[in-house]
Structure 1
C-alpha cells in the first residue's frame, strides 16, 4: 500500500473511500430486515455464516434474513461497542497464496444490549420476524458432562431452572422466548448451532429440552415436537484478531477496523435441511443442504481434525511453531501423508459427491497456507479431549476390521512423549490441557511402564487391553525416548 494512502475508518458513510479491490455491500442497509438472531459474534461467525448471508444479499436475494447480533457474556458488550462504532460492518480478509481478498460485510443490522437476565435478547426472539436463532457459543458452551450428556447439575443450569424469567444462559433465554411465542400463537424459530462439535444440532436439542424439562415438562415436550435443531458441519480456519491483523488490514487496504478478521480462503458449510419456520436460500451461495450431515462430519473429524491431532505433537517435539512450516517439513508431512492414506482414509465411508483423497489433498494445501499463521501450540491444546474424539475412534475401527494401527499408535506415543514436557532441543513445553497434571503423572509413569499411560481410561477406554495397539504404542514410545522423534518418523515413513 502507498504509504501516503489515508487511513479510513470503517463506516457506512466511508464505504466509497476504500480501494477499488475491496469488495463492499451492494445492498443498502435500509433494504434489510431481520430474520435471524445470532448469539456469539466472534470471528468464526463473522467469517462464515455472516459471509454466506453477505454473498446472498449481494445477489439481491432474501433481504429479510438480516442478522441481529446478541451475546450473553459480559465481554460481549465490548464487541457490541466496537461493532456499533462502525455501523455493524466487518472487514474479512481471505488469505490465499494465489491472491488475498478483502470483503467488507454488512448482513448484521443490530446488536442487542448485553444485560443480566437477558431481557433484550428474550424480547427480540419473541418477535415473529425472527425465524432462526443461531449459535456460536464454543464447543464447551453447551453444558454437557464428560460423557456428552446434558449436565443438569451445572450451576448456570440450576440458576436458569430456578429463574426462568431472568436466565443466565442463552438456552434459558431461548426457552423463555419459545414459551412466549407458544402462548401468543407465534410459530417457533429454528435453533441452528454453528459450533464445531459433532452432532451439534442434537447437542443443542439435548441442552434446550433438558433445561426446559427442569422448568416445565409440557413445554419441553412442545419444544421437542415443534422446534427444529438442524445439524451442521462447519469448516474454516479463522485465527484470533490481534494488533498484527489490525495493522495488516490498515496497511494493505487503508481500513481502520476495530475487529477485522483474517482467515483462509476455504470455507465449507454442510447443513441439515430441517427448519421450523423457513430459511434463506443458502444453497445458492455454496452451502451443501442435505438430509444427513453425518457422513460429511465423520470425514472432517477423521481426515481434517485427526490430521491436525496427528501433525501437532511431532511438530512440537521438533520445535516447529507454525502449522504451515510443519506441513512442508519432510518428516512431519511424510508421516501425516502415510498415516492418512494407509490408516485414516480407509475408515471413512463414502461421502456424497466427494473424493476422499482429493479432500485430503485440499487439506494439505490449506495446511501449507502461510498467510493464516495457525500455530502448533494451538493444535496441541486439549489433547485429552481431542485424542478421544479425533484419533482413538479410528484406532478402534481399524482394530475391529483387523487393520494395522502402526501409524495411529505412533500418534499416541508422540503425544505421550510430548507430555514429558521437553522438546528434542531441550526446550520446555507448556502443557495446555484441563487434565495436564493427571496426564503428566501418567506420562512420567510410562518411563518405567508404557502401559501406565494407556491406563488413562477416561482417554483410552479399554484400548490398553487391545494388544495390537498397546504393543505398538510401547514399541514406538521406547524408540522415541532412545532414538528421538526424527529417527522414528523416518523409519515409519520408510516402512522399516
Structure 2
C-alpha cells in the first residue's frame, strides 16, 4: 500500500523503473508506534541512502515488521522539508560507474522527529520510544563533532559544562550527548531494558568514543545531582547497554542538480534541489560496506540478510582501520585539500589530473598499505583498487573536494595519525620514509590561509577549529618569508589534532619544510607536488 504524495506518482515511478516498497506502509507504521525496534539519530543523506535501504530490504523480506524512528537534534528544516513534506519517503538514486542508474522509493522511515525542547510532541514521543523495552538498537550518524564534549585541550566544552550544570532537564540541554543521555535516563528509570547504541559515523573506535562521551555527561550528573550510581553502571555494563564498533563506507554527495533535472524530465515531480539537504531524493554510489560488531543485548533483526557484515570487535576494528586510516579516507582528504588549492570542484575531475591521481596512489598503495592490518573479510589491496579504479573516477558521483574538506581538523588524527603511529611502532618501516602524508598535512595548513595556488582568495569549508587555527597562522602571507617552526610548532605538537606529537614522530620538521615551500608564492602547490611525485 502506497501512502502520501507518492501515490499520484506511482504510474510514473513504475514507467521509470523505480522499485517500489513491497509492504503495507500503513500497517508498518502502526506496528512501529506500538512496538518500535530501531531508532536512528541524525537523519541526513547517509541515513537516507544507506540505513533506510537496509531497513527497507528487511521489511520487504518480512524479517522486520516495524520501520525506523528517525530523530534529529539540529535539523528542524530537515525533518519538516526533507521528511514530513515527502511523507517520510525518499527516492534513492544509485549512480553506477558505467553511467546507468538504479532508482528505488525508500519508505522504511516510520516516523521523523525534530528532537528539540521547542517541539513538545516529538520530545514526548521519543521518550515513549526509548522507554519501550521493544527498542533493540539505535544507530547514529552525527559526524565526529556530534560526540564532542571536550575541546582540543581535553577540557569540557562550555556546552558540556552547561549540560552537567543543569542536569537531566531536557529543556536546557545543549549537546547531542546530553540530549541522548536524557533519553537513556528515561529508559533506565522506566525499565532499564537492554539496548545497543551503534555509532555508524566515519571514524575509528566510534563505539568507544560514543560511550566515553556519553559517560562524561552521565558521570557529571551523578557527581552534581546525586543521581543513582546504578545509572552509570547500567550504561557501563555491555550486557545491558552495548556500544558496538562499526565501519561504514558509502560516498554520499549532496543531491545533484543534474540528477534532479533528469528526474523532472522523466516526469517525477518535486525533485528540486533549492536546498540539497532537504531534497526529496538522494544520490549515492553503488559500492558500500557496513561492518558492525555483533553485540546487541536486546536482540536484532537479521541485518546480514541486507548485506551488513556482523563480526567480532577485532575484525570490525581492523576493517575500520583499513578503510579510515589507509585505503579510502586518507585518499579522499588528500584529494580534498589539494583539489581546493588547485581549483577543482569535482573529485572525479581530480582523478583525471595526472599529479592528483598519482598522489592518491602514493598515499594508499605506497604509504598506507604496508602497515594496514588485514581484516580478512575485506581484502585491503582489492579495496584500494576499487576505490581508485571504480569509485573516485565515477563521473556520476558529483562529489566535491569542498564537501570532503569540511571538519578536517577532526579527521586528520584518524586519517593520518594512525598510519604515522603504525610507522613509529613498526620494526620494518620508519616515519622518515613518509613523503605524501607529511606533504598533505603541510598542504592543509597552506589551505587554511584561504588563498588558492593562483593567489586568489577562496572560501574554506566549515571546521570547528577554523578560527583558532587561522589565528595561529595569521602572520603568514603568501610570497613572504616565514619562520615555520615558530608558527607551526604549537599546531604540529598538538596530539589532540593529529593523534600524535608530529615532532616526536619525526616528521614535524619535514612538514615545516614543505609548508615553507608551499607558501613561497603562487604556483608552489602544483610545483612541489609534481616535484615530489617525480622523485
The 3 A distance-change label for structure 1 pair 111 and 388 is closer
CA-CA distance at 1:255 after TM superposition: 4.0
Q: Which string of whole-angstrom CA distances, capped at 9 and with x for unpartnered residues, describes residues 94-120 of structure 1?
A: 112321111101111223464516232
Q: How far apart, in 2, do the equivalents of 1:137 and 1:327 lie? A: 29
Q: TM-score, normalised by structure 1?
A: 0.87
- CA contact under 8 A between 1:88 and 1:106: conserved in structure 2? yes
Give runs of aligned pairs for residues 179-328 of structure 1, distance below 5 A: 179-185=185-191, 187-213=193-219, 214-215=221-222, 216=227, 217-225=229-237, 226-241=240-255, 246-252=260-266, 254-257=268-271, 258-292=279-313, 293-302=316-325, 303-328=327-352
- CA contact under 8 A between 1:125 and 1:174: conserved in structure 2? no
The 3 A distance-change label for structure 1 pair 97 and 146 is same
C-alpha RMSD over aligned residues: 3.0
- CA contact under 8 A between 1:36 and 1:68: conserved in structure 2? yes
Between stretches 180-189 and 125-134, larger displacement belongs to 180-189
Which among 157, 164, 176 is matched to residue 158 of structure 1? 164
- CA contact under 8 A between 1:77 and 1:114: conserved in structure 2? no
Which among 398, 402, 405 is matched to residue 380 of structure 1? 405
Between stretches 238-247 and 24-33, larger displacement belongs to 238-247
SS of aligned partner of 1:145 = coil
CA-CA distance at 1:270 after TM superposition: 0.8
Q: How far apart, in 1, do the equivalents of 2:230 and 2:174 lie? A: 22
Q: How far apart, in 1, do the equivalents of 2:153 and 2:320 lie? A: 17
Q: How far apart, in 2, do the equivalents of 1:185 and 1:420 lie? A: 53
SS of aligned partner of 1:415 = helix
Match of 1:92?
92
- CA contact under 8 A between 2:136 and 2:296: conserved in structure 1? no
Q: Within the alignment, does 1:473 sit opposite 2:511 as a pair?
A: yes
Unmatched segments (≥5 aa) in structure 2: 272-278
Q: How far apart, in 1, do the equivalents of 2:412 and 2:469 lie? A: 14
Match of 2:43?
41
CA-CA distance at 1:294 after TM superposition: 0.9
Matched residues, number: 485
Q: Which string of whole-angstrom CA distances, capped at 9 and with x for unpartnered residues, describes residues 381-434 of structure 1?
A: 333333333123323432443430122222223223333433232322333442
Give runs of aligned pairs for residues 8-157 of structure 1, distance below 5 A: 10-12=5-7, 14-18=9-13, 19-32=15-28, 33-34=31-32, 35-64=37-66, 66-73=67-74, 75-76=75-76, 79-80=79-80, 82-98=82-98, 99-112=100-113, 114-116=115-117, 118-146=123-151, 151=156, 154-155=160-161, 157=163
- CA contact under 8 A between 2:256 and 2:283: conserved in structure 1? no
Q: TM-score, normalised by structure 2?
A: 0.81
